[in-house]
Chains A and B, each alone.
Chain A
């Protein structure tokens, strides 16, 4: 049995006909063609598939597409505006907040919520907030620095 799913992705209303078992991350990558949302662990631990669903950071590998019906989804591709990179993206650029870059979309989407909840987030706040995002290259130092700097600059 297939289901009709309507959702807004990065501001654009989209409609899909999906199997119930389709995961939101696969919908975004295979149906919408937005491959910035990466799938890292598939066990709900690594956070590289993090997107915003109705403004909240969620792991899109642990949400069924049918559960996202009617929701507004923002992916890494939806952050940058007409005037350039999102401030958190710019801060990752400025502070060299990545090495291989695989975890980066998830890190940035989680950072959006961290700074949304705590605009003046400290180093400790950011490290606590990133518990659900794993990076296997950087040792986190420049990721944390990037997010703290983005917060200090008013996001």
Chain B
């Protein structure tokens, strides 16, 4: 299978990409293309034009100021998983990147592309929510920053305007984090993925955030479960009690041939329990 016909434009800068997106009818951005090209081959997407940002210089850098990481939109999953700054400052993010797809997918897919595509089975969104990340995007009106909690709007839908380009993601560093997923055996997408962050203060859980993808159309924060763990030790009983609250986060679980909505919601509880235990151990 091959995609339907389209015009191809290679942007040399973010400004040029924004201009092309603004002026060309029905144009889509492509970088690694690992969400878009499969959809185009199935003719599920038939854009009239592609604007390739894959070679814009400087957009794949990864840096750290000690408190947070700034990851360029074109950083591949492999480069995020391997970067010393990510592995040291935010091991959960490296773990999330390493859990995406397979070697070949991770070599081409980019963090900006994954976030912009906002697939319910993508791995990054849960981590971005749990870590409190911010997406930086440039559009016709200039640059703006979007909190992860405002970024994911619905299934395959984000807060980005049609002519906005993600340039980077700022991710606060966190030692006490873990990302665990139930992997679809063929596609490697997350049937359910849980990103948990735990901060300890004198043995008690002082802060907790839990992001979950795969259950509903967009990744969500399980606030009730996170709140239930705070204010006491991260004991097995308290973690189990907190994980039992994740159902509150799901308005309408989605099902497919592989996993029903009910099964996905159940898995979310199981994986939340496991992810919280690992995150708490790392925080300590």
Contact = CB atoms under 8 A, between A and B. Distances in A.
Contacts of A63: 33, 37, 108
Contacts of A12: none
A151 B42 CA distance: 38
Q: Chain A binding site: helix, strand, loop or mixed by DSSP?
A: mixed
A28 to B, nearest CB: 14
Contacts of A67: 30, 33, 52, 54
Question: Which of A22, A42, A62, A113 has the most chain B CB within a 10 Å cutoff?
Answer: A62
28 contacts: A1-B8, A20-B5, A20-B6, A20-B8, A21-B3, A21-B4, A23-B37, A23-B41, A44-B37, A44-B38, A45-B187, A56-B107, A57-B107, A58-B104, A58-B107, A59-B108, A61-B41, A62-B33, A63-B37, A63-B108, A64-B8, A64-B30, A64-B37, A64-B50, A66-B10, A67-B30, A67-B54, A132-B101
A110 B103 contact: yes
Interface in A1-50: 1, 3, 19-23, 26, 42-45, 47, 50
A132 B2 contact: no
Interface of B: 1-8, 10, 30, 33-34, 37-38, 40-42, 50, 52, 54, 78, 101-105, 107-108, 186-188
Interface of A: 1, 3, 19-23, 26, 42-45, 47, 50, 56-59, 61-64, 66-67, 110, 113-114, 129, 131-133
A3 B101 CA distance: 30
B37 A131 contact: no
Given A20-B6, A132-B101, A132-B102, A42 B41 contact: yes
A110 B107 CA distance: 11
A62 B2 contact: no
B33 A26 contact: no
A118 B186 CA distance: 24
B66 to A, nearest CB: 28
B52 A59 contact: no
B47 to A, nearest CB: 11
Contacts of B33: 62-64, 67
Contact of B104 (A22, A23, A50, A66): A50
A1 B8 CA distance: 8
A58 B108 contact: yes
A114 B8 contact: no
B104 A110 contact: yes
